[in-house]
Structures are given as C-alpha cells and as structure tokens.
Structure 1
Amino acid sequence: MKYVSFEISGVPAWGRIDGEKVEQLGEPGTRWPDLKSYLTDQTPADLKPLGVHDLSEVTLLPVIPKPDLIAMAAVNYRKGDAPTDKEPPFPVLFLRLSSSQIGHEAPLIKPASSQKLDFEGELAVIIGKGGRHIPKDRAYDHVAGYSIYNDGSVRDWQKHSHQFTPGKNFVGTGAFGPWMVTPDDLPPLEQGIALRTRVNGVEKQSTDTSKMIFDVPYLINYVSTFAPLVPGDVIVTGTCSGFGSTRTPPEFLREGDVVEVEIEGIGVLRNAVQKERVAVEAV
C-alpha cells in the first residue's frame, strides 16, 4: 500500500495511491486530517474515500509534513560487504526541522548565501507505533512504512563548526517523498534494496540496504533510548559514498539541475534545483 500527503485546490489532504489515481482519505475537519493523525489513532477502520483524483491534479507534499521528530543519520553505508575498523562505534545523528522539508517535484532551493548545495539519497523510515527503549528484535513492529529522502546539505554552513545543524536545515532542502510504502510491499531490507541517486540523469550514488553500518532496528533502538518515538516520526538512515563534496573535483548543485533518488520498490523522488530569491521576510 502507498500512502501520500498532497494538496488539492490549496487544501492539504492525504490518501492512498491506486495506479495513477489518489483516493483521498482525509483533510482538515475530518476524523484524520492528515496521515500522521491516522497513524497516531491506531484504530482499525474501514477507510472510505472522500474523493478520487488523478495524480497529475495534485501537488505532493512531504510524506509527513510536520513530524514531531526527524532524526538523520550521517553517512551509514559501507562500500563493501564486510565491516572495517574505520566504521564509527555509534551512529552520528543530527536533527532536521520540518520547515526545511519539500515534497516530490517541488523546487530544491539553492541558498543565496552558499555555492555548496549537495545531494544525499537516503531511505526514510516512518514510525507507526511509538515507544521508548524499543528492543531491536521488536523494532520492525513500530514501522509504518518507508519512503525516500534527499538530505540536501549546504556544506560550508554545515562545516562552520563540528555541529551539523545550520547546513542541514536551510529552507527547501529536505526532499521527502513521493509517498510511503508499507513494509508488506517490500522485501526485507537485509536482502538489499537498491538505492541510487542521479543528477541530470547521471548516476552519482549506488548502494543497497544490506550495506548499512547501523541497520533500521539498531537506529530505532538507539533513537528511542534518548527520545520517545511517536507515530509520524521519521528516521532517515544515512547516505552512501558518491555525494558531491566527496567527488574529485567536488560537484555542487546548480540552478536547473535535476536530482533523482530511486529506491527499489518505492519509486523515484525528483526535484529540480532553483536559486533562492532573496527578500526580507516578516516572521
């Protein structure tokens, strides 16, 4: 099953994908106004469509537009099959703000204050059942589904200090979509689900989920040890080698570039790069 958050005629809504159609299941004012509220309810119910739309008629939003928590793992893939002594003893984690997120086909914003916008294709895990101190052997029971993330990173701001926060939270840099696929529609991650990132059609990153240093059960256990997880939270599982700043010479994104992250069994997340139009904004 594929669930999606979208906007139709300016109204945010959510639903499920049926071929090239979207069955709308909620909107503001209904029992489940958004996908996060449906995951939170935990009450089995017969979901009756409020309407059906062509995919081409809707604007896709981030799968979970406003998660309580977005925990991001840094790097997290080995190049070969075997562990090495260079692997970190614990995952490197940072947090992303929901206000930095965009959906499928939305512009990926290149900040006016930097020339070093980078791409990172990653697997996103959406939490369906909350908990604290979740054991690894029960971690998959807490997963509602999987999606795709492009952790757009502003490298010079990321490296202002040893803290990642500024470079990982520019507006319009966290692409999340196009939809959430439930676990029953995917093979076990340990078997190796392919992940690829392309820029303008040229492959830049390629790996599979069997090469994770810290797998999904480990990350769920680790994050839930210091923070209670709730439905709709997102854990983004890290990237592999090949992103722009590690290439020789470095390759940073320019206006008009198109970034595609493809994960086997989920789909393709696509975003074109757009230069930031600077204006003083009232808050």
Structure 2
Amino acid sequence: MNLVTFTAAGAQFWGVGARGGVIALSPGFPQWKTLRDVIAAQAIPQVLDAAAGRDVTHAEGSFTYEIPVPDPEKIICVGVNFPDRNAEYKDGQEAPANMSLFPRFARSFTGAGQPLIRPPESRQLDYEGEIAIVIGKGGRRILEAEALGHIAGLTLCNEGTIRDWVRHAKFNVTQGKNWDTSGSIGPWLVPFTDPAQIMDVELTTRVNGEVRQHDRTGRMLFPVARQIAYISTFTTLVPGDIIVTGTPTGAGARFDPPIWLKPGDVIEVEVPGIGILRNGVADE
C-alpha cells in the first residue's frame, strides 16, 4: 500500500491508495496531522496495518491529490546528476567533484492530476522528471554506508522550471525554480523497504506521449546514498525532508529550438515500482 495526502470537500486527509480510490486514515489518528507527523513518529507500519481490510472512503473523482508530505521542513534538489546532463552545458568541464544543490519551497509544487501553472511573466515553462526521496530518520553527518536506512519512502517529481528566470543572477537558480505551482510531486509515497527500489531503476518522462527523458538511476553521478551523506554534512536532515535526486537529459530547453510547455500538454514521469506522475499545464 502507498501513502497519500488528498483533499476532499475542502478538507485535507492522509491515508492510503486503494483500488477505486483512497482510504482516509487521518480521522482515526488525530495525533498526526500530516504524513510528516506519521513519518516522524516512525508509524508507517502502524497506519498501513490499520488500513488492512478497510473499504475505500473516497472514490476516484471525489478527491484531489496533494503532494504526499505537504509541510516538509525543507526540499533540496540535486542538479546536473547524470553524465549527459553535464555534457549539455558544453563548457568543456568534467563532472564536478561535488553536487550542485538548490532549495525549493513546498508552495512551488502541486499534486498529481493538477495542472502546472505557466505565469504571465514567462513562456519558458519546462519539465524535469525525477525521483524524490523522503527522509524517515533524521541525522547529521550521516555515513554513506548507512544513508539508505534514513529513507522513509519514494515518490516522483516533475521539477518544473521557468528557464529564463534561472539566469536572472550570476550564481543561483532559485528564482526560476520556485514559481508557485510550477512543479509537481506524487502521486503517493511508496514505503522504502529495499535498496533495489532506487539503485538502478528506469526513469522516463513523456510529453503528450512522446518520450523526452529516459535513463537509469545507476548512472547517477551522485547516487542517493551519497546525496544524503553530503547534504547532511552541512544541514540536519529531519523526518519529512524531501531530496529531489536529479533529472536526465532531454528537458525542453535542450531542443533546438527549445520546446516549452503550453496549456493542453500532458507530462508523465514514470518509474517502475513507484508509478506515474501525470500533470497538465494551464496559464495563471
């Protein structure tokens, strides 16, 4: 079973996905307001047990997905994490010794099935399909050999970007990465139980059915365990934190001419064992 956060009739719930809809569990656990609280309490096995044998409480079409952890303390994204992505920059430089990082705010993401929003200030809305990990056990200076044990679950991310705004300053990309509702996370959180779930799996992004990005996590320049170890060197990771682990080559900016997202487009990010994150596009 996979964990979900969703809204129905103006109220937010968390629970699990099921055939035909979702099962709301949050009313039975008032001590845990969001899935971040469930994760912090190390209570994922408890809530999954509580869902066993339960009927769907909200049928498909009666709810909207939210990002699985709606209130993370921080979201940290890893840039240029596949060999072909480094080559895209055409600067003659080898892959760096350390990873590039930038923050995103929870408000910049929406849930599965909801449109990415193209703002009036720019038409350069782009896609980046990625896997996101959610921290389950916090820590500082986490050893790489122990890092995977700190993961609570896996989800998918379309790390939507306003391309011309990532170049508004000399050294940072924060502006282009944090437009409200420009990206998405979801549709659910898959509990992490086996390193094989992340070590060498296929990652595919499609736009209107056309494959634009395709690679394997085994080719990451900085594997997930190293990401956790490196990031936790300078900041304490806490339960519910999200690390967005990097996108393959093939974003719209890399075409000649670039192919930007527009209203009516449908973007799908897919990883076997995690699922499909599907979103449309709308103008603000």
Q: Do the two structures share a fold, i.e. TM-score over 0.5?
A: yes
**Equivalent in the alignment of 1:54:** 59
Secondary structure at the counterpart of residue 31 of structure 1: coil
Report the number of matched residues: 272
- Which string of whole-angstrom CA distances, capped at 9 and with x for unpartnered residues, describes residues 217-241 of structure 1? 1000111111111111000001110
Q: Deviations over 1:176-201 (max 9, x none)?
A: 000011123773422x2111111111
Cα distance change on mapping 1:27 and 1:158 into 2, 3 Å: farther
Q: What residue ranges of structure 1 are gaps of 5+ in the alignment?
A: 277-283
Q: 1:30 to 1:61 in 2, by over 3 A?
A: same
| Residue equivalent to 1:257 | 265
Give the aligned partner of residue 63 of structure 1.
68
Deviation of residue 142 (structure 1)? 0.6
Distance in 1 between the 2:8 and 2:235 partners? 34
Name 2:277's counterpart in structure 1.
269
**1:159 matched residue in structure 2:** 167
1:248 deviates by 1.7
- 1:75 to partner: Cα distance: 2.4
Question: Which of 203, 210, 233 lines up with 2:211 in the alignment?
Answer: 203
Q: Which among 177, 186, 189 is matched to residue 177 of structure 1?
A: 186
Structure 2 distance, partners of 1:21, 1:79, is: 39
1:103-118 aligned within 5 A: 103-118=111-126
> How does the TM-score come out when normalised to structure 1?
0.90
| Corresponding residue to 1:234 among 218, 231, 242 | 242
Contact 1:96 1:165 in 2 (8 A): yes
Deviations 1:213-271 (A, max 9, x none): 10111000111111111111000001110001111221111111111111111111111
Aligned to 1:279: none
Using the size of structure 2 for normalisation, the TM-score is 0.90
Note the residue ranges of structure 2 that are not aligned, 5 or more in a row. Answer: 86-91
CA distance in 1, matches of 2:66, 2:197: 27
Correspondence for 2:158? 150
Instruction: Measure the CA separation in 2 of the matches of 1:143 and 1:71.
Output: 14
State whether residues 196 and 207 of structure 1, in contact with CA within 8 Å, keep that contact through their aligned partners in structure 2.
Answer: yes
- Cα distance in 2 for residues equivalent to 1:2 and 1:100: 23
Shift of 1:57: 2.0
Tell me the amino acid that sits aligned with residue 80 of structure 2. Answer: V
* 1:178–1:197 distance in 2 versus 1, CA, 3 Å: same
